Structure formats: C-alpha cells, structure tokens
C-alpha cells in the first residue's frame, strides 16, 4: 500500500511540474508578444 501511495505522489508532482512548465511557457510567450 505504501508503495502505491508514493507512486501516486510521484505522478502528482510530475503533472504539477508539467503544468508549471506550461504556465511558464505561456508567460514567456505573452512577454514576447508585449515586447
């Protein structure tokens, strides 16, 4: 049980990282459009 919960946590952080990356890329794109 502990193993599966840690795996779920890992997946959660992975998706969070991907979302953060996408948000950062969006910010960079909007910044370029503003400049």
Q: What is the mean pLDDT of residues 2-16?
A: 91
Phi and psi at 5, nearest 5°, equal -65, -40
Model pLDDT, residue 31: 86
Structure tokens given for 4: 């599966």
**Full-model pTM:** 0.61
Domain boundaries, the chain: 1-35
Q: Which helix (H) or strand (E) holds 9?
A: helix 2-34
Residue 1 confidence (pLDDT) above 80: no
Model pLDDT, residue 13: 95
Angle at 29 between CA 27 and CA 33, to 5 degrees: 115
């Amino acid at each position: 049980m502990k193993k599966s919960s840690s795996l779920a946590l890992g997946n959660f952080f992975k998706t969070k990282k991907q979302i953060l990356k996408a948000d950062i890329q969006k910010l960079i794109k909007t910044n370029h459009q503003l400049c």
